[in-house]
Chain A
Amino acid sequence: MRDWLIFGIGAAALLAGAVVVTQTIENEYFFFASYVVLQFVVLATAWNILGGYAGYVNFGSAAFFAIGAYIAVALFKAFQAPLLAQLLAAMAVTGLMGFAVGALTMRLRGVFFSIATVAIAVICETLVVNWGFVGGARGTAILQPSAPPLFGSYTRMLFVAMALFAVLSVAIARYIETSWIGRGLRALRDSEEAAESLGVPTLKLKLFAATASGALMGLAGAPFALYMSFIEPTSAFSLNYAVSALAMPIVGGTGSWIGPVIGALLLGSVQQIVTVTVSSELNVLIVGLLLVAFVVAAPQGILGLLQRLFRSRGAK
């Protein structure tokens, strides 16, 4: 319980800090860039619930992200629905998508499961391209509502909202990891047959993990159109999201909730810096190279490297 108290204080401090900087920092670009990094914290943490804890590698994260964004856009265009309603609807739909992906695990494991998630992403993109109401392939422009009170601009408000989602998703991942659910997921990742024979309801746990993972990915994507003021399928379904969602946890370390956070903060920041200083085309290349380097040299990620460092120090 005490470590949850510390976690809660840390989370509250971070959120308070996020609110404070909206009042103190003048540069609008800071919020624009930080929003993206925080969005990757949510995406990476969500991916890790299914991919890291349960061992089911989802290559279709971009679909969850984009569907989350498009559900929000559809609601906004149809009913001028408030942001909260958009978020909840996006989470409900992508949560259902996650549930369906979880059901796939009954028949598909390992690489076959991953291939199926790629197929789902392709299907979703095709559907959206042909969905005229949200602009189809041409995309659609969304006007940001006027700046809400307390915040200087709508982007600043979205930045605080995304910080809240990041804290929320990390708290959910941490709860799953440290509870009996996490132990069950780890058990089924190592051997599904053995887990089932020792009383673990593997299908229920997988459905739960896949639903939670999908809903949080949808949450990461839901404010995307309002943030960009524009949405079109190619950028919403960008390969960058699918690759980053799995590269960040792997680079950070999939075993613990802090791993995806480290990976997302590191890779997300590097991407933003490279986009500004070098070129926006280069950032996917950097993520790809880092992913290859870590998979080959440090499969346990940065967390694994740190643990090895501390263990060898302790041994001396």
Chain B
Amino acid sequence: MTAALLDVQSVSKRFGGFAALTEVSLAVRPGERLGIIGPNGSGKTTLINCICGALRGHRGTIVFEGHDITGLAPYQRTRLGIARSFQIPRPFSSMSLVDNVAVPLEYVAHRYLAHRGPVAAADIRAEALAILDQMGLQGGADAPAATLTQVGLRKLELARAMAARPRLLILDEVMAGLSSAEVDEVLTLLFTLSGRGVTIVMIEHIMRAIMRFSERVVCLDAGRVMAEGPPAAIAADPMVRRIYLGA
């Protein structure tokens, strides 16, 4: 067995008296496609926030590529290769789509090149346009992000996360609100990324997407890992069906 890319070791997080996560341990292999499911309030987003550093003051350790990253700021974790999307899109509203994507290009992917002036600026713009093109956002690339639709905003979340050139990409309901055809489009894109060796962790309520995409599914409930296994086994698990599907 190869060493885990991401190793979450008995992480617990409390908000006052509420235990959002209790002793959650989770290992993600390099190149794996992992799905995380669970009812609302089961701690999925809290877990992501702990992994990415947005939430501090949790117990347990988080190890990425053999390094303990528990004490690192979010931006440092991104530079090590962890990128995420937000469940509620957080665009840079006043900036154009190109500039939105240029931020991770300048601060992560080309952070030494970006400090060198106009030649680099042209390269970064070209690369940002290419990423937007991949996401079907090439039209209006110079319009402010505030003009995007909900669907456009979710695509922009994904485009920005990809621009950070992550080795581990964590997607928090990136497909919510997308049409069936768009879900397929995004899935195709994610399979391509996965084929290039990017490890992907996906939180999603769209079961069709989770079941098709994931090699392994983890089910959270009330801040604990209740079940994990291949998608088919999870879908058939009577406990998962009871807590999640309500059947």
B37: shortest Cβ distance to chain A, in Å?
A: 23
CB contact list, A186-204 vs B, under 8 A:
186-187, 189-191, 193-203
**In whole angstroms, what is the CA distance A177 to B94 when docked?**
14
Q: Would you call B54 and A199 a contact (CB within 8 A)?
A: no
Residue interface bits B66-85, CB-to-A below 8 A is 1, else 0: 00000001110011000110
The residue from A1, A195, A201 contacting B92, defined by CB atoms under 8 A apart: A195
Q: Which residue on B lies nearest to A200, using beta carbons?
A: B107
Residue interface bits B29-68, CB-to-A below 8 A is 1, else 0: 0000000000000000000000011100000000000000
How many A-B pairs have beta carbons closer than 8 Å: the answer is 85
Residue interface bits A133-177, CB-to-B below 8 A is 1, else 0: 000000000000000000000000000000000000000000000
**In whole angstroms, what is the CA distance A199 to B165 when docked?**
11
CB contacts (< 8 Å) of B115 on chain A: these are 179-180
Q: Would you call A198 and B108 a contact (CB within 8 A)?
A: yes
Q: Helix, strand, loop or mixed for chain B's interface?
A: helix
Q: Which residue on B lies nearest to A196, using beta carbons?
A: B74
CB contacts (< 8 Å) of B54 on chain A: these are 193, 196-197
Is B90 on the interface with A (CB-CB < 8 A)? yes
CB contacts (< 8 Å) of A189 on chain B: these are 94
Is B106 on the interface with A (CB-CB < 8 A)? yes
Given the interface pairs A190-B91, A191-B91, A203-B73, the reply to whether A183 lies near B106 with Cβ below 8 Å is yes
Is A268 on the interface with B (CB-CB < 8 A)? no
Place the interface of chain B in its size category.
Answer: 20 to 34
Given the interface pairs A186-B94, A191-B90, the reply to whether A201 lies near B75 with Cβ below 8 Å is yes
Q: Would you call A198 and B164 a contact (CB within 8 A)?
A: yes
CB contacts (< 8 Å) of B117 on chain A: these are 1
Tally of chain A residues near chain B (CB < 8 A): 21
Given the interface pairs A180-B107, A183-B106, the reply to whether A197 lies near B83 with Cβ below 8 Å is yes
The residue from B52, B95, B104 contacting A186, defined by CB atoms under 8 A apart: B95
Q: Would you call A198 and B95 a contact (CB within 8 A)?
A: no
Q: Would you call A199 and B93 a contact (CB within 8 A)?
A: no
Q: Would you call B114 and A198 a contact (CB within 8 A)?
A: no
CB contacts (< 8 Å) of B114 on chain A: these are 180
**In whole angstroms, what is the CA distance A186 to B91 when docked?**
11
Is B16 on the interface with A (CB-CB < 8 A)? no
CB contacts (< 8 Å) of B106 on chain A: these are 180, 183-184
Given the interface pairs A180-B115, A187-B92, A191-B90, the reply to whether A198 lies near B104 with Cβ below 8 Å is yes
15 pairs across A/B with beta carbons < 8 Å? A1-B117, A183-B103, A186-B92, A186-B95, A190-B95, A193-B90, A195-B103, A196-B74, A196-B75, A197-B52, A198-B83, A199-B75, A199-B107, A200-B103, A202-B75
